Structure formats: C-alpha cells, structure tokens
Amino acid sequence: DIQMTQSPSSLSASVGDRVTITCRASQSISSYLNWYQQKPGKAPKLLIYAASSLQSGVPSRFSGSGSGTDFTLTISSLQPEDFATYYCQQSYSTSITFGQGTRLEIK
Amino acid sequence: EVQLVESGGGLVKPGGSLRLSCAASGFTFSSYSMNWVRQAPGKGLEWVSSISSSSSYIYYADSVKGRFTISRDNAKNSLYLQMNSLRAEDTAVYYCARVVLGGYAPANWFDPWGQGTLVTVSS
C-alpha cells in the first residue's frame, strides 16, 4: 500500500496566521491527492481535489499544491472556523490510503 | 440536495455480524461508485471498501478482506456493508461516501460523506 505521511501531526496557530500542512507519499502518485477537513463529531468535508483544485463553496484562503510525492495544503489567513483536523488521501491506487491527520488548534 | 444516510450500527459481541446500510438521495445513485470509510474512536480515517456503479469492481482493505462484503442495490438507491467475524478493532464510526470521478482515471475523490453510524464490538 501507498503510505501517506502528514506533518506536523498537530499545530497551534492564531487567527490570521498563514499555515502550511505537508503530505508525503511513499511513491509517486502524480496529482491524485485530495484534502479533507473534519470537525469534531462531524463527517469529513472535501476541500481540495486533484492536488490543487478548490472544491466548490470552499473559501479561497485554502489552496493546495504539489505533485509526485510531496504536497501541501495552505490556509492563507486562519479563521476561527478553520480549527479542525485535516487529512490527505491518495486515489492513485485502488487501495485508498489517508494520512494520519493534522490537528490544527488555537494558540 | 445530495444526501447519504447510514444506519445499522450498534453494539455487537466479538465474532458477531452486523449489516450497515447507506441510503442515497438527490443524485443518480446508479451512476456513481461508492465507498465505506471508518474512523476508530480518537483515530484517523481508514478506507474499508469500494464498489463501482454496476458492482463490477469491488475492493477491500486487507484488514477486512474475507470478513466484510460490500454490495449495492441501485433500484433502492442503497449501499450495504455486511460485516462478519467482528473484532474489537472494528469498533469505529462507519461512513459511506460518494466517489466523484475527475474525468481521467485514477482521479477521484469522496464527496459528500454521510454522517456516520457507530459500530461497537465488545463483550
């Protein structure tokens, strides 16, 4: 299976900060990488698909980049509603795998 | 509105069985592949199984292969997960999710997700 490793595992930041979360694949996955946001007690929500495409309705402060094995999710200016856990997911293989998650907390 | 609603979760003893259902509405269910994804308490997301729109292609995670069976009934707009030989480590919230294709394989992503149903395996 393709292993997905996110860093950091947790992050403390303040409203207005610029934040970057990294996801690394154990082999090249081209641009077949998606990002989800999950708030406590809620289902995950799609943010970014195909590495850099913003899902409809998602604020433009979210952006994704990367290809091959290294990917990033950037939040340009943190808002109170952005404090959540973020997951990357590869669709390159039929055996889907997720990163372990990055918990974004209020400083 | 596109909606997925899971049901069928509950408390079951180790070695027991449970059948989860996912009712779909607001879209042409028969045109979409579907997935089950689970999340153990306090843990991350784990993909469980995928099924194509016509049930021609089915995949399982190694952790459930041989014990779980995914199926669908397009006439009833429903997705199922039959879970047998349940273990304590199967305890999780189980989500169903629609697969959106990007127009070129293997570009696809999960959207939306249901609210989840909790399965607890304990004696």
**DSSP string for B51-75:** E-TTS--EEE-TTTTTTEEEEEEGG
| C-beta neighbour count of B123 within 10 angstroms | 8
Residue A95 has its nearest CB partner, among B59, B109, B111, at B59
Mean pLDDT within B6-29: 98
- Residues facing A62 on adjacent strands: A75
Quick check: B45 and A44 CB within 8 A?
yes
| C-beta neighbour count of A45 within 10 angstroms | 18
Contacts B37 to A, Cβ<8 Å: 44
Contacts B112 to A, Cβ<8 Å: 43, 45-46
Furthest CA-CA distance within chain A: 38
Confidence of residue A80 (pLDDT cuts 50, 70, 90): very high
Task: Provide the edge-to-edge strand list for the sheet that holds A4-7.
Answer: A4-7, A19-25, A70-75, A62-67
Q: Mind listing the pLDDT tens digit for each residue in A6-61?
A: 999 999 999 999 999 999 999 999 999 999 999 999 999 999 999 999 999 999 99
Distance from CA of A14 to the nearest CA of B (A): 24
Q: Is the pLDDT of residue B26 over 80?
A: yes
Distance from CA of B49 to the nearest CA of A (A): 9
| C-beta neighbour count of B43 within 10 angstroms | 11
Instruction: Report residue B115 CA to chain centroid gap.
Output: 12
Q: Is the pLDDT of residue B10 over 80?
A: yes
Interface test with B, best of A96, A97, A103 (most B CBs within 10 A): A96
Residue B111 has its nearest CB partner, among A55, A96, A97, at A55
| C-beta neighbour count of B103 within 10 angstroms | 8
With H, G, I as helix, E, B as strand and everything else as coil, classify residue A81. Answer: helix
Q: Mind listing the pLDDT tens digit for each residue in B49-70?
A: 999 999 999 999 999 999 999 9
Q: Mind listing the pLDDT tens digit for each residue in A62-75?
A: 999 999 999 999 99
Do residues A84 and A38 touch, judged by C-beta distance below 8 A?
yes
Mean pLDDT within A80-101: 96
Quick check: A98 and B46 CB within 8 A?
yes
